[in-house]
C-alpha cells in the first residue's frame, strides 16, 4: 500500500461549470451527470415518516449498525504517460473537480498532484504525474522526473495513459520500461485516450499493448468528451480496493493547499496566453490570500507573483501597455470565481527571479522541493 503526504488538503467549494452552465457541488462525490450520483443521493434520502412502526425503526437501526461495521477500503492509483496525453484531464474527470491545470502545451503538470475521491466506505487516491520526458537537465526537470519515480514506487494500480492519435514514440517506450520494473502486485491498466479523435485508434492501441504485455486491462476512452467511460473506469477501481484505512478525510479533494491550487490556475492562464517557449520559464507563487469578513460583501483578495528568468521575459508577460498581464489576470480570475463561487480581486506582479529553475531554494519556495 502506498503512503501519502499527510498534510491537510483543502475542501473544494461549489463550482459552476463555465462551459455548460451546470452547477456541481464539489464537496459531494460526483458530477451532476455521474451515474453513481443518483444512487448515492437516493441512499441519503431522509428516513421513514413519523407514522412508521417501531419494528421499522428497529430494522433501520440494525441496518445502520451493519453499515457502520463495514470496513473501509482505500488504495493509490498513479497516472503516468508522456507529456500532453491527457493525464490531468483524466484526473479532473475522475474527481469531478479541477485540481490539475490543463493546457495544450506539454509539461503543464510539474508536481505530483494527489486527487482524492471518496464514496461511502471507499477512497481512491489518484496521483497525477508530470509528463515523462528525458529532455532538460535543470533542477526542475530532475524534480519532475523524481516525481514520476516516486509516484509508482508503492501504488496499487498504475494507469498508463497514451494518445491514440499517434503510434508509440521513444518517450512512450521509456514509460513502458518504467512500468516493467514495477512489483508484480502492482496492476497496470493501459488507457488509450483521445479515442474519439484517433483515425487509426485500434492499430495504435495494439502497438501500445505490445509494449506493455503485463497490462491487466486495456481500454480506449476520451477523457474530455466521454465522462461516462471515465466513471466506469473509476467504479472498477473502487470495486478492487483492498481493506485499508482512509488516508485523507472524506471531504478533501486534493492534497494541495488553496494557494498552490490558485497558483496553478494562474500559471495555466499564463501558459495559454504566452508564446511557445516562454511558458516553461514561468512560475507562480501566491503570496497572500485574504478572505472577506463573514457577512461582508467583499471579494476574496489574492496576491500572486509571476516569476520569469529574464528582464526581457518580464516585458513579454506585461505586454504592450500592460495588455498581456491583464489578459492573464482576467482569464485566471474568471476561473477562480467559477470554482470559489464568489468574487475575486486578483493582484499580479511580474518578478524577475534569475535561473529559478536551477535554484533549489526557489524550487522549495514554489513547493517543487521538500
Q: What is the pLDDT of residues 180-192, one digit of tens each?
A: 888 888 999 999 9
Determine the Cα–Cα distance for residues 140 and 367; give it in Å rounded to an integer: 11
**Mean pLDDT score, 257-281:** 83
**Model confidence at 284, in pLDDT bands (50, 70, 90)?**
very high
Domains of the chain: 73-239 (3.40.50.300), 258-365 (3.30.300.20)
pLDDT at 77 over 60: yes
**Model confidence at 38, in pLDDT bands (50, 70, 90)?**
very low
**Grid coordinates representing 148?**
514520476
Q: How far is CA 75 from CA 1, 107, 237, 302, in A?
A: 7, 26, 9, 35
Cβ–Cβ < 8 Å for 63, 48: no
- Residue whose cell numbers read 502506498: 2
Q: Which of 230, 166, 227 is nearest to 200 (CA)?
A: 166
Cβ–Cβ < 8 Å for 182, 152: yes
Determine the Cα–Cα distance for residues 335 and 21; give it in Å rounded to an integer: 13
**Model confidence at 21, in pLDDT bands (50, 70, 90)?**
very low
The answer, as to whether pTM is greater than 0.75, is no
45, 50, 51, 56 alpha-carbon torsion, rounded to 10°? 60
Cβ–Cβ < 8 Å for 218, 206: no
Cβ–Cβ < 8 Å for 92, 98: yes
Vertex 262, ends 37 and 35: CA angle to 5°?
A: 10
pLDDT at 166 over 60: yes
The residues near 170 (Cβ < 8 Å, ≥ 6 apart) are: none
Write down the pLDDT at residue 358: 84
**Mean pLDDT score, 144-148:** 62
In this structure, are strands 14-16 and 300-308 parallel, antiparallel, or unpaired?
Answer: unpaired
pLDDT at 269 over 50: yes
Instruction: Tell me the angle at which helices 323-340 and 311-318 cross, rounded to the nearest 10 degrees.
Output: 70
Determine the Cα–Cα distance for residues 307 and 314; give it in Å rounded to an integer: 8
Amino acid at each position: 500500500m502506498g503512503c501519502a503526504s499527510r498534510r491537510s488538503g483543502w475542501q473544494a467549494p461549489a463550482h459552476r461549470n463555465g462551459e455548460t452552465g451546470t452547477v456541481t457541488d464539489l464537496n459531494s462525490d460526483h458530477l451532476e451527470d455521474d451515474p453513481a450520483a443518483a444512487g448515492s443521493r437516493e441512499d441519503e434520502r431522509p428516513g421513514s415518516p413519523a407514522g412508521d412502526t417501531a419494528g421499522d425503526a428497529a430494522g433501520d437501526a440494525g441496518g445502520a449498525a451493519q453499515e457502520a461495521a463495514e470496513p473501509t477500503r482505500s488504495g493509490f492509483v498513479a497516472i503516468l504517460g508522456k507529456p500532453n496525453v491527457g493525464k490531468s484531464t483524466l484526473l479532473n474527470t475522475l474527481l469531478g473537480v479541477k485540481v490539475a491545470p490543463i493546457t495544450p502545451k506539454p509539461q503543464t503538470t510539474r508536481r505530483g498532484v494527489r486527487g482524492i475521491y471518496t464514496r461511502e466506505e471507499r477512497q481512491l487516491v489518484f496521483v497525477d504525474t508530470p509528463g515523462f520526458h528525458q529532455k532538460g537537465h535543470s533542477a526542475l526537470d530532475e524534480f519532475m522526473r523524481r516525481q514520476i519515480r516516486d509516484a509508482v514506487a508503492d501504488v496499487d494500480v498504475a494507469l498508463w495513459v497514451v494518445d491514440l492519435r499517434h503510434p508509440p514514440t521513444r518517450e512512450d517506450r521509456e514509460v513502458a520500461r518504467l512500468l516493467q520494473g514495477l512489483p508484480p502486485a502492482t496492476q497496470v491498466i493501459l488507457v488509450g485516450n483521445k479515442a474519439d479523435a484517433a483515425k487509426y485508434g485500434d492499430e495504435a492501441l495494439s502497438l501500445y499493448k505490445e509494449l506493455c504485455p503485463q497490462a491487466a486491462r486495456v481500454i480506449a476512452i476520451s477523457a474530455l468528451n466521454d465522462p461516462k467511460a471515465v466513471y466506469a473506469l473509476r467504479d472498477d477501481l473502487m470495486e478492487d480496493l483492498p481493506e485499508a484505512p482512509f488516508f485523507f478525510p472524506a471531504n478533501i479533494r486534493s492534497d494541495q493547499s488553496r494557494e498552490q491550487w490558485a497558483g496553478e490556475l494562474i500559471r495555466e492562464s499564463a501558459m495559454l496566453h504566452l508564446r511557445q517557449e516562454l511558458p516553461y520559464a514561468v512560475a507562480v507563487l501566491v503570496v497572500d490570500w485574504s478572505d472577506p469578513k463573514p457577512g461582508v460583501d467583499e471579494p476574496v483578495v489574492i496576491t500572486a507573483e509571476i516569476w520569469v528568468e529574464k528582464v526581457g521575459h518580464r516585458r513579454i508577460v506585461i505586454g504592450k501597455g500592460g495588455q498581456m498581464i491583464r489578459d492573464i489576470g482576467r482569464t485566471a480570475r474568471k476561473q477562480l470565481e467559477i470554482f470559489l463561487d464568489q468574487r475575486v480581486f486578483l493582484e499580479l506582479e511580474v518578478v524577475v527571479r534569475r535561473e529559478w529553475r536551477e535554484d533549489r531554494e526557489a524550487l522549495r519556495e514554489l513547493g517543487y522541493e521538500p
